[in-house]
Structure 1
Amino acid sequence: MAQAIDPVCKMSVDTETAKFKSEYNDTPYYFCAPGCKKSFDKEPEKYLSETQPEQTGH
């Protein structure tokens, strides 16, 4: 049973039973509810930039 993190609300989602899924840049994203999917589909870069690790310059 694979788990994914909803990029909008950060909930854990079972990828095998998730009803809400989007693809962006050939990567699947799973959502807990239609509202999260709708928000992601509207502004995917907003949510993906929040999940990326911050770059630190040394």
Structure 2
Amino acid sequence: MVIDPVCKMEIDEKASQFKSKAEGKDVYFCCPHCKAIFDKQPSKYQVV
């Protein structure tokens, strides 16, 4: 399980359809809206 950095929702990275790369890491999202927000300003969010 991972945390969506935008909405802080806990999600299963294996089931997530929404993914980006940041700082060399895969980042997973609960929905396309959260992914779009992150992709506009990735430096605003902490990637773990």
With structure 1 as the length reference, what TM-score do the two structures score? 0.76
Give 1 or 2: higher helix fraction.
1
Which one has a bigger Cα radius of gyration? Answer: 1
Q: Which runs of 5+ in 1 are unaligned?
A: 53-58
Q: List, as ranges, runs of 4+ consecutive aligned residues in structure 1 with deviation greater than 2 Å.
A: none
With structure 2 as the length reference, what TM-score do the two structures score? 0.90
- Of all paired residues, the percent bearing the same amino acid is 48
RMSD (Å) for aligned C-alpha atoms: 1.6
Counterpart pick for 1:25 among 23, 26, 29: 23
Q: Tell me which residue corresponds to 1:6.
A: 4
Q: Which has the higher contact order (CA 8 A, sep 6+)?
A: 2
